[in-house]
Amino acid sequence: MFVIKRLNYVSSIVLFLVLAAFSAPAFADIDQPDYQKTHYPGFTVSGKAYDKIQTEEFTMDCAVNNIIISVDAQVAEKAMFKGYIRFQYTHSGKWTSYLAFDGEYHFSSVNTVSAYQMMFVVTDPEKGDTRLNAVTVNGNYIPEEAMEYYMQKPLPFQPQKVVARPAIVSRAAWGARPPKNAYTQHQVQRLIVHHSWIPNQSQYKGAASIRGIQSYHMDDPQTSWTDIGYHFLIGPEGTIYEGRPETVVGAHCSPNTNSVGICLIGDYDPNKDPIPPVMEQSLLNLLSWLASKYNVDPRVNLYGHCDFSTKSCPGKNVYDRLPQYKEEILKAIGENK
């Protein structure tokens, strides 16, 4: 009896290890938030044309200047759901006015904030069922100088030609889940390259890995974002996958507003994965298309994540090649002076 139990125990460990080895690991190389809290306001509107809830004021245990708010709500078909948030500045103690948002909201400021208060409003002529499940607040502190630099509008740049959009695997084709809620629109001004770190190249399993990263970004309590954080992802074999539309704010490098995040699947830290030429070509095609379409000067506004973070992302093997990429993109798109 004991032997059988023991065998079952051993075989279940073996089975677990086998399953762990075959399920696509997906952690991706993201910044850990300095402040993180998930709220469950318990706000349900049913059989009513209008209702609202105002939360208490929440004090953060650290001062931050970049915040992502992700709302998880089931909204009745004809209902209008609006969120509002206001922040209290750390030094002056003054509150901002209430800022409106639909689903995911990005707040950036040179001055830090250290408290917030939220309000949610439902207007529903059909008196259906709307339910606010959770609100996740992620805050980061970005040094003031970097924040000032980041919030500047880039100098005008006019490319000579628009490079064709490369072949991109659509969300439907890789089996993406729909976003939980509305995105925030932005203007493309910067291109930022990342690596996934995990999965590395040998752990990459095509579309399953992209779905794994999306689930991690949407379901992990540390993130709980409305969708996959990146705008594009590229597999080691050169396949480009569609993430969020590039015209909306992503979640990949704080502050995210106005930047497009591209994730190279693999671990490009020293002595880890080399970047294959076919993958590099896909990256160049994608960057050239984006730079030419949105008038982004690759010499100034192409970055690695590590330019804004203490992470090594996108890894030295890729980061060291950025100067060469900048030249090649400029050659591909030209400049009207």
Sheet strands (E) in the chain: 35-39, 43-46, 50-54, 58-74, 80-89, 99-101, 104-123, 129-140, 190-195, 232-234, 240-242, 259-264, 302-304
Pairing of strands 302-304, 190-195: parallel
Q: Is 313 in the site for Zn ion (CB under 5 A)?
A: yes
Q: CA-CA distances (angstroms) from residue 145 to 2, 187, 254?
A: 65, 22, 14
CA–CA separation, 206 and 204 (whole Å): 6
The CA radius of gyration of the chain, in Å to the nearest whole number, is 22
CA–CA separation, 157 and 270 (whole Å): 34
Q: Burial of 182 by CB count in 10 Å (0-12 exposed, 13-18 middle, 19+ buried)?
A: middle
Nearer to Zn ion, 83 or 255 (CB): 255
Q: Are 193 and 264 in contact (CB under 8 A)?
A: yes
Nearer to Zn ion, 282 or 309 (CB): 309
Part of the chain binding Zn ion (CB under 5 A), chosen from 134-142, 240-248, 302-310, 326-334: 302-310
Nearer to Zn ion, 87 or 230 (CB): 230
Nearer to Zn ion, 211 or 311 (CB): 311
Nearest approach, Cβ of 196 to Zn ion (angstroms)?
8
Q: Which of residues 76-95 bind Zn ion (CB under 5 A)?
A: none
Q: Which of residues 14-73 bind Zn ion (CB under 5 A)?
A: 29
For residue 66, the number of C-alpha atoms closer than 13 Å in the C-beta half-sphere is 22
Nearer to Zn ion, 139 or 261 (CB): 261
Part of the chain binding Zn ion (CB under 5 A), chosen from 186-194, 223-231, 233-241, 283-291: 186-194
Q: Which of residues 193-252 bind Zn ion (CB under 5 A)?
A: 194
Nearer to Zn ion, 132 or 313 (CB): 313
Part of the chain binding Zn ion (CB under 5 A), chosen from 108-116, 239-247, 292-300, 313-321: 313-321
Part of the chain binding Zn ion (CB under 5 A), chosen from 36-44, 182-190, 198-206, 308-316: 308-316
Interacting residue ranges for Zn ion, rule: CB under 5 A: 29, 194, 305, 313
